[in-house]
């Protein structure tokens, strides 16, 4: 699972570097599939319940499961890219929300707080804690900022299959639900809306959007529970230090 996690983590990092105004989400999808196959993996999403692509590309008010298309990313957009691979029979699943060019501060703050929610959730992935602790950690941090916590979609166990038990909701109460044991592996994935939590599915049968049209952020890591604490299988070491394209451009232009 470490190998699958590292492959998909590396793919997502490369996709993040490609994100810029003018690129289409289909170009990102094609690049993802090529990198996954070059790495010896199989795109976990492609063909999953008929999903036709290797990534989910969800722009602005799209929450999750967006279809890659010929849509060009615009300056000021945010895009959630969710990617999964199967490598040697095991699945890695990870997502990031990436700003495109210069994004308004309110939306950047939404992404930042969603990442904080993920970090707080991961802190709860410890032996003896409960699944409800994970959801509680996300919910109380997001709601303290006035954001809507999506309830219609949840994180999940992950292993030989992408979606395994238990479900990992982004809401809950401490000390409730399943007790966490060493060896469990979870895909922890807060989906946080700037406005209200309500969502709907578009006519394509997949793309989930916010009901109020406000933007949504989504970040995900595959996390293994060990006796020593949570291990982030999809985190690439040194990732935090790697400047994104828009940071590079800002640095160059200033």
Interface with Mg ion (CB under 5 A):
82, 93, 95, 187, 220
- On whether the CB atoms of residues 185 and 62 are closer than 8 A, the answer is no
Min dist CB 43 to Mg ion, Å, is 12
Min dist CB 146 to Mg ion, Å, is 26
Min dist CB 29 to Mg ion, Å, is 14
- Count of helices and strands (H, E) across the chain: 5, 15
> Which helix (H) or strand (E) element contains residue 252?
helix 245-253
- On whether the CB atoms of residues 199 and 206 are closer than 8 A, the answer is no
Min dist CB 154 to Mg ion, Å, is 9
Min dist CB 85 to Mg ion, Å, is 11
Instruction: Supply the DSSP symbol for 71.
Output: P
Residue 153: name the closest of 230, 231, 79, 209 by CA. 209
- On whether the CB atoms of residues 1 and 19 are closer than 8 A, the answer is no
* Residue 202 CA from chain centroid, whole number: 20
Min dist CB 189 to Mg ion, Å, is 5
Backbone angles phi, psi at 232, to 5 degrees: -85, 100
Residue 82: name the closest of 51, 104, 40 by CA. 51
Q: Which residue is nearest to Mg ion (CB)?
A: 187
Q: Tell me the CA distances in angstroms from 34 to 83, 171, 229, one per residue in order.
A: 13, 36, 34
């Amino acid at each position: 699972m470490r190998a699958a996690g590292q492959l998909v983590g590396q793919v997502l990092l490369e996709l993040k570097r490609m994100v810029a105004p003018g690129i289409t989400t289909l170009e990102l999808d094609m690049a993802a599939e090529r990198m996954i196959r070059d790495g010896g993996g199989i795109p976990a999403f492609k063909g999953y319940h008929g999903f036709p692509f290797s990534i989910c590309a969800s722009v602005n008010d799209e929450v999750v499961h967006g279809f890659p298309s010929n849509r060009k990313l615009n300056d000021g957009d945010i895009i959630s890219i969710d990617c999964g691979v199967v490598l040697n029979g095991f699945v890695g699943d990870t997502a990031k929300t990436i700003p495109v060019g210069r994004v308004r501060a309110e939306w950047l703050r939404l992404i930042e707080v969603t990442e904080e929610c993920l970090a707080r959730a991961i802190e709860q992935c410890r032996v003896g804690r409960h699944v409800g602790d994970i959801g509680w950690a996300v919910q109380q941090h997001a709601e303290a900022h006035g954001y809507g916590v999506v309830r219609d979609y949840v994180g999940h166990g992950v292993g030989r299959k992408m979606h395994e038990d238990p479900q990992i909701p982004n809401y809950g109460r401490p000390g409730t639900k399943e007790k966490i044991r060493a060896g469990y592996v979870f895909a922890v994935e807060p989906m946080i809306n700037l406005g209200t939590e309500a969502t709907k599915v578009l006519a394509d049968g997949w793309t989930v959007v916010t009901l109020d049209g406000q933007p949504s952020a989504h970040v995900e890591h595959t996390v293994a529970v060990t006796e020593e604490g949570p291990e982030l299988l999809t985190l690439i070491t040194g990732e935090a230090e790697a400047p994104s394209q828009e940071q590079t451009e800002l640095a160059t232009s200033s």
